[in-house]
Homo-oligomer: A and B are copies of this chain.
């Protein structure tokens, strides 16, 4: 794994090419700027004096074998390549081995979400959610929840939706006035439009449709079409309310919702969405931070750095024998 090595070390490793850019030095010699990754992180490397074959072979999505030395360039780690070639079929050449995924398997995500569906006791919302997950499930369990900001990994969309759904259950317990069916349904499908807004789990980009319509309007379109298929009346309160949850889930006009929440569950959904996204972003930044230090600034969290507390000796009071600071470092690995 990349994270097992440090500055100055020479080692052999298999890595996935995340991006490959063909460039020329200021003196005119061609080279390839590679971003290489495995599940422990990513690193830059330059393939100097690139031949035409190199340009053809070393492209995004390929797995390569390298012998390299870890350097530093402009304060960031970089690999100095001694040898590089494509991995062959006997070697670990499946790209998915190198991609970060949700910390829960696709199977588990599906099982947990299917179990939750039974708690949506309102039949309109239950059938809507099932109809939509049937049609968009392939993408729903593969796509990331965002291009960069949070849950930007394979399966992130379903993982993020599931986390919010679990929060929704807890909230319904504590506040009996909350409609559990509605909040759960909203939690599971509020980001369904991302299956059209984003291009997919690898090299994620916004699609043309994503840029011109956005996942909120696409999500509403998906609801309208599901209602048509199921014969539900768009003017019924059940349809109005679930569409309202969809389009208000960014909470503010400024954040791209065409209306703000005007329903208790819509308000709560928008806040749980935000909370789960921030916990994931902050936790993920703290993982890369040494105890007793501040993380890098987190763009999605008001561009603030976050503090990771010092490692503490295990306290006997701590049931699972693990301090939070220790746990922060292990989270999501």
Q: Interface centre among A175, A247, A271, A305, by most B CB within 10 Å?
A: A175
C-alpha spacing A92/B120, complex, angstroms: 47
Since A179-B309, A211-B305, A217-B220 are in contact, a sample of 16 more A-B pairs with Cβ atoms closer than 8 Å, ordered by chain A residue number, is A21-B75, A23-B72, A23-B74, A24-B71, A28-B80, A121-B315, A163-B174, A170-B173, A208-B292, A213-B243, A221-B224, A225-B228, A253-B255, A253-B256, A254-B254, A271-B274
Tell me how many chains of this kind the complex includes.
6
Residue of B whose beta carbon sits closest to that of A220? B217
Q: Are A179 and B212 closer than 8 Å at their CB atoms? A: no
Q: Determine how close the nearest CB of chain B comes to the CB of A227; give it in whole angstroms.
A: 10
Cβ of A184 < 8 Å from any Cβ of B? no
Which parts of A291-309 form the interface with B (CB within 8 Å)?
Answer: 292, 294, 301-302, 304-307, 309
Q: B256 to A259, Cβ gap below 8 A?
A: yes
The docked-state distance in angstroms from the alpha carbon of A167 to that of B178 is 15
Pairwise interchain contact A268-B275, C-beta atoms closer than 8 A: yes
Contact A213–B282 (Cβ < 8 Å): no
Chain B residues in 8 Å Cβ range of A262: 211-212, 294, 304-307
Contacts of A259 in B (CB 8 A): 211-214, 217, 256
30 A-B contact pairs sorted by A residue (CB < 8 Å): A23-B74, A24-B78, A26-B46, A28-B71, A175-B283, A176-B327, A177-B286, A177-B324, A179-B309, A179-B323, A208-B292, A209-B235, A209-B240, A211-B262, A211-B305, A212-B240, A212-B243, A213-B259, A214-B258, A216-B258, A217-B243, A217-B258, A224-B224, A253-B253, A253-B256, A254-B254, A260-B304, A264-B282, A267-B306, A268-B275
A237 on interface, CB distance cutoff 8 Å? yes
List residues of A whose CB falls within 8 A of some B CB: 21-24, 26, 28, 46, 69, 71-75, 78, 80, 121-122, 163, 166-167, 170-171, 173-180, 182, 208-209, 211-214, 216-217, 220-221, 224-225, 228, 234-235, 237, 240-241, 243-244, 247, 253-264, 267-268, 271, 274-275, 278-279, 282-283, 286, 292, 294, 301-302, 304-307, 309-310, 315, 317-318, 320, 323-324, 327-328, 331
- Whether B178 pairs with A174 at a CB distance below 8 angstroms is no
Q: Complex Cα distance A121/B294, Å?
A: 25
Q: Is the CB of A324 within 8 A of B178?
A: yes
Chain B neighbourhood of A263, CB < 8 A = 212, 306-307, 309
Measured CB to CB, the closest approach of chain B to A170, in angstroms, equals 4
A237, B26: Cβ atoms closer than 8 Å: no
Contact B258 A247 (CB under 8 A): yes
Quote the shortest CB–CB distance from A220 to chain B (angstroms).
6
Compute how far the CA of A260 lies from the CA of B121 in the bound complex, rounded to whole angstroms: 38
In whole Å, how far is A95's beta carbon from the nearest beta carbon of chain B? 25
